[in-house]
Amino acid sequence: MASSGNLCLSGTGVTKVFGFGRHRTLAVDHVDFAFHEGEIISIVGESGSGKTTLAKMLLGLISVTEGEIYFQGKKRDISSGRKKKEYWRNIQAIFQDPFSAYNTFHKIDAVLLDCIKLRGGGGLPKEEKVRLMTEACSFVNLKYAELTNKYPFELSGGQMQRLMIARIFLLKPKILIADEPTSMIDACSRATILDYLMKLRDETGMTLIFITHDIGLAYYVSDTVYIMEHGRFVESGSADEVILHPKQPYTRRLISDVPKIYEEWDLSTV
Amino acid sequence: MARVMLEVRDLTTKYITRYKEDVYAVDHVSLKIEEGKTLGIAGESGCGKSTLALSLMGYYFPPLHYMSGEIIIDGQNITGMKPDDVRKSILGREIAYIPQAAMNALNPTRKVIDFIGDVVRAHDPTWTKKMIYDHARSLFERLGLPAEVLQKYPVELSGGMKQRTVIAVAVTLTPKVLIADEPSSALDVTSQKMVIKMLRDLMESGFIKAMIFITHELPLLYNVADDIMVMYAGQIVESASAKQAVFDPLHPYSKGLMGSIIVPESGLRNVKLVAIPGAPPNLKNPPPGCRFAERCKYVQAECKVTSVPLYEVGYNRAYRCILSETELRRAYEHGE
């Protein structure tokens, strides 16, 4: 395990309630977690189990109804716009749909320049900026010279997702939340994307949080796995422990639902 | 010899782009499906899987154009039929298609029963509302779906339920062949299993006679299909039984695809994923030789100039590579 033991992001009793009265929905129900620096974490659950809501709360995109989130041991403070921006320098996300993640009217170098600005590199000379952008593109095996005058829609899904990783490479956040990063792209590009994300973790020592329903992916990448059901963590532990020796019936069912190649896939238990 | 439900001989179709360029997305594809069998088509995005599915139905509309080849569905040759005739007499009755984002096909302002009514009336306008409702109800009961769904709007249904509803609508007119194009790619594992179970039940009860299943998820394909066809850049590069395709692939591209499998099974955690470098060629002007040559580890000078035919090896097995079976096997052993 690559974690150095320092707490990076943790939470106690984090709860999110949508609506009230008759429409009250408990999306995330008093979850506790502790993510360490340099660790790869997967949060696995079915659709509607509250994974994405939790991710949005971690990112500070929606408010927390109850409970506290701690960033590097201190209480997270995102009460003002400036503090929020400061927080977002440390935490970034990759979303499921790369096609809708970009501003259609911005060319690709504008996308990357924004990242340099956010890091406080707005005053750098032009050559330095180009050097940084070229470096970021070559990290994910894209050619900056070919991309510079293009718009995002001219790229394929896999290329867009790689560009997203190039963005993260420029921003160098402490935490990266990847919300279903590979569910929209095909299995062949998936291996590439995962490899880049893991390389990024090895080089920068960031904490990677995967939000996914793909247990195969969770097993492949992560050090620690959290299984989520109806807004609660039902099981957590190291990947081998949780996925090969599940204790909870919910986890067992989830794993039995994945098509496998060496074991029989039992269709009768739906 | 079992009855052949769908036979395709040398089918070639092309797209004509805005700039009048020809893109041969399906290039001399032949296939045959026997009664009760499921054919799986694998390949990465942009290699012509979905275009092949569209072409199989014989229903062409610009920018897709028919070039050559024959399509025979259960003994009936539908080559050269007018698109309107195909739509009225073939689609839905002989062959049905579930597109990739099928669940978005439901009209959000109308109930599911109205949607079924539209499908049925398009083929036979004499059906009354009562007849449609009874038919839909018995169909849903047979497929294990709750009949309340019929009176609901699509927003009231979950993703998996919507997908199963769309499959039910697709088989309303009891087609012989069903083409499922990534029916479960947007669903989580549990809903995916339900969808697959439903398709399997349809096959087993003889409701549909044969199925084509398109996906890039190999573990899923392995569990669903009897035979697997691997497509690359509009061509078939390998066809084999599911077991052979997954455990003993011959073509370097299929070998590469198998390297990207992720499954939660013990011993497979630290297996290094082998991604195939590069991207498929642009089909506007495909390379003259083997289309995979640019990305192939075992490429030879000859590969880039001479086009490679599909070699048949044994029963039900073919691959498209200039290297012989033994040479390929030896190369794979040395490569690992």
* A255: pLDDT strictly greater than 80: yes
Closest alpha carbon within chain B to A261: B219
- Examine residue A38 and state whether it is found in any structural domain, yes or no: yes
Smallest Cβ distance to A267: which of B196, B216, B246?
B196
Chain B residues within 8 angstroms (CB to CB) of chain A: 44-46, 158-159, 185-194, 196-197, 200, 216-220, 222-224, 246, 256-257, 259-266, 268-269, 273-276, 279
Domain count, chain A: 1
- Examine residue A179 and state whether it is found in any structural domain, yes or no: yes
Complex-level ipTM: 0.78
- Examine residue A152 and state whether it is found in any structural domain, yes or no: yes
Beta-bridge partners for A205 = none
CA distance B117 to chain A (A): 30
- Examine residue A270 and state whether it is found in any structural domain, yes or no: no
Q: Tell me the CATH number at A228.
A: 3.40.50.300
Alpha-carbon distance of A70 to A205, in angstroms, equals 19
Q: B63: cis peptide before it, omega within 30°?
A: yes
What pLDDT, on a 0 to 100 scale, did the predictor assign at position B267? 67
**A146 contacts in B (CB within 8 Å)?**
none
A227 near B CB under 8 A = no
A220 near B CB under 8 A = yes
**A254 contacts in B (CB within 8 Å)?**
189-190
- Closest by CA position to B98, among listed B15, B189, B11, B212: B212
Distance of CA B229 to the CA centre of its chain: 9
Beta-bridge partners for A35 = A9
Candidates B49, B189, B216, B224, partner chain A, best to mutate (most A CBs within 10 A): B189
What's the mean pLDDT in A61-88?
A: 88
Name the one residue in this structure whose structure tokens are 């970021």: A136
CA distance B275 to chain A (A): 6
Q: What is the DSSP string of chain A?
A: ----S-EEEEEEEEEEEES-GGG-EEEEEEEEEEEETT-EEEEEE-TTSSHHHHHHHHHTSS--SEEEEEETTEE----SHHHHHHHHTTEEEE-S-GGGSS-TTS-HHHHHHHHHHHTT-TTS-HHHHHHHHHHHHHHTT--HHHHTT--GGGS-HHHHHHHHHHHHHHH--SEEEEESTTSSS-HHHHHHHHHHHHHHHHHH--EEEEEES-HHHHHHH-SEEEEEETTEEEEEEEHIIIIIS--SHHHHHHHHTS--SSS---GGG-
Residue A3 pLDDT grade (very low, low, confident, very high; cuts 50, 70, 90): very low
A2 near B CB under 8 A = no
Candidates A46, A161, A184, A188, partner chain B, best to mutate (most B CBs within 10 A): A188
* Parallel/antiparallel/unpaired status of strands B210-214 and B177-181: parallel
Give chain B's largest Cα–Cα span. 68
Amino acid at A143: K
**B223 contacts in A (CB within 8 Å)?**
259-260, 265
DSSP A242: I
Closest alpha carbon within chain A to B220: A259
Distance of CA A82 to the CA centre of its chain: 23
Q: How many CB pairs under 8 A join A and B?
A: 119
In this predicted model, which residue has the larger pLDDT, B263 or B336? B263
What pLDDT, on a 0 to 100 scale, did the predictor assign at position B1? 62
What pLDDT, on a 0 to 100 scale, did the predictor assign at position A2? 46
* B313: pLDDT strictly greater than 90: no
What domain range is A217 assigned to?
Answer: 2-259
What's the mean pLDDT in B32-59?
A: 88
The torsion of the CA quartet A132, A134, A135, A138, rounded to 10 degrees, works out to 160
Angle subtended by helix axes B129-142 and B112-123, to nearest 10: 110
Which of A249-258, B101-110, B327-336 reaches the highest mean pLDDT? A249-258
Closest alpha carbon within chain B to A190: B260
A113 near B CB under 8 A = no
The H or E element that residue B118 is part of is helix B112-123
SS3 B292: coil
The residues near B217 (Cβ < 8 Å, ≥ 6 apart) are A187, A259, B185
CA distance B267 to chain A (A): 10
- Closest by CA position to B187, among listed A213, A182, A53: A213
- Examine residue A268 and state whether it is found in any structural domain, yes or no: no
Alpha-carbon distance of A224 to A42, in angstroms, equals 6
DSSP B91: B
Candidates A186, A220, A267, partner chain B, best to mutate (most B CBs within 10 A): A186
* Parallel/antiparallel/unpaired status of strands B4-16 and A91-94: unpaired
A160 near B CB under 8 A = no
**B101 contacts in A (CB within 8 Å)?**
none
What's the mean pLDDT in B103-124?
A: 87
DSSP A244: I
Which of A173-187, B201-215, B267-281, B284-298 reaches the highest mean pLDDT? B201-215
Alpha-carbon distance of B116 to B136, in angstroms, equals 7
What pLDDT, on a 0 to 100 scale, did the predictor assign at position B268? 67
CA distance B205 to chain A (A): 15
What pLDDT, on a 0 to 100 scale, did the predictor assign at position B104? 79
- Examine residue A265 and state whether it is found in any structural domain, yes or no: no
Closest alpha carbon within chain A to B192: A257
* A1: pLDDT strictly greater than 60: no
CB B289, CB B321: distance < 8 Å: no
Alpha-carbon distance of A217 to A185, in angstroms, equals 13
- Closest by CA position to A65, among listed A31, A106, A101, A108: A31
pLDDT tens digits along B124-172: 888 899 999 999 999 898 888 888 889 999 888 888 888 888 888 888 8
- Closest by CA position to A159, among listed A175, A143, A180, A176: A143
Is B262's CB within 8 Å of A216's CB?
Answer: yes
Angle at A147 between CA A142 and CA A150, to 5 degrees: 145
- Examine residue A241 and state whether it is found in any structural domain, yes or no: yes
What's the mean pLDDT in B62-80?
A: 88
Look up residue B48 and give its two tokens: 């012509």
Distances (CA, A) of B213 to A55, A127, B53: 34, 51, 9
- Examine residue A44 and state whether it is found in any structural domain, yes or no: yes
% chain B with pLDDT above 90:
18
- The alpha-helical segments, DSSP class H, found in B157-239 are 159-170, 189-204, 218-224
